[in-house]
Copies of this chain bind each other. A is one copy, B any other.
Amino acid sequence: MDAFISYFPLWDKLTESEKDRVRASLTFRQIRKGTLLLDGSDNCTGLLLIRSGQLRVFVLSEEGREITVYRLFDRDMCLFSASCMLKNVDFHMTVQAEKDTELWVIPTHVYRQIMDQSAPVANYTNELMASRFSDVMWLLNQIMWKSMDKRLAAFLWEESAIEGTLRLKLTHETIAGHLGSHREVITRMLRYFQQEGMVKLSRGCVELTDPKKLAELAQE
């Protein structure tokens, strides 16, 4: 419980009875890499607070294509896993653990009840949503006004920063999924990057050989 308190930014703003309710309903879960936490149809899992690990939040098209909307890391809260409590949300997100992940789950109805009464909790929820909204607006801008080479360069560069390595274990298929593109398009673009000396390709692996040049391309 001590760990939760130090991770949950709202704790000090709760009344004693609210704290009791959170305490009594909280669960801790350990999730294997690859697990789907939310499959796009159920949005009532609860609010997720990540202790450690990494979640990918993405949308799926009707044809099964996907695009990464944002990622969540240590101390992040996943709001859309409780979107059934939010009026006017009519879209579906899918959430998958990209690494082994430990997290706390606050049941949706408990959070909702507290939020209904508490201005600080409601305002915090607002901030969370604004933050995700900004992520989505950024993505929209990327898609609208950045050509695929810049998006791919940005993706590889960020991925390298997240993983802390220049050797990324990623298939072209996976990259295509992240960028909402087709494998063929990504393969072609990666080969071009390789010709330009920015990456080196091998089976299931993309090695960044000139991260500076990639970063420049991403920021063009």
Contact = CB atoms under 8 A, between A and B. Distances in A.
Interface of A: 59, 61-63, 65, 67, 69, 83, 86-92, 115-119, 121-123, 125-134, 136-141, 143-145, 147-148, 151, 179-182, 184-185, 187-188
Contact of A61 (B87, B128, B132, B145): B145
Consensus secondary structure, chain A interface = helix
Given A122-B126, A125-B126, A90 B140 contact: no
A116 B123 contact: yes
Copies of this polypeptide in the complex: 2
29 contacts: A59-B141, A61-B141, A61-B144, A62-B147, A62-B148, A62-B179, A62-B180, A63-B145, A63-B147, A65-B145, A67-B144, A86-B126, A86-B127, A87-B127, A88-B130, A89-B130, A89-B134, A90-B138, A90-B187, A92-B182, A115-B119, A116-B123, A119-B119, A119-B121, A122-B122, A129-B133, A133-B133, A136-B137, A143-B143
A65 to B, nearest CB: 6
Given A67-B144, A86-B126, 18 more contacts: A59-B140, A61-B144, A62-B179, A62-B180, A62-B181, A65-B145, A67-B140, A88-B134, A90-B185, A90-B188, A91-B133, A115-B119, A115-B123, A116-B119, A119-B119, A132-B133, A136-B140, A143-B144
B88 A144 contact: no
Contacts of A91: 133-134, 137-138, 141, 184
B90 A184 contact: yes
A87 B132 CA distance: 11
Contacts of A181: 62
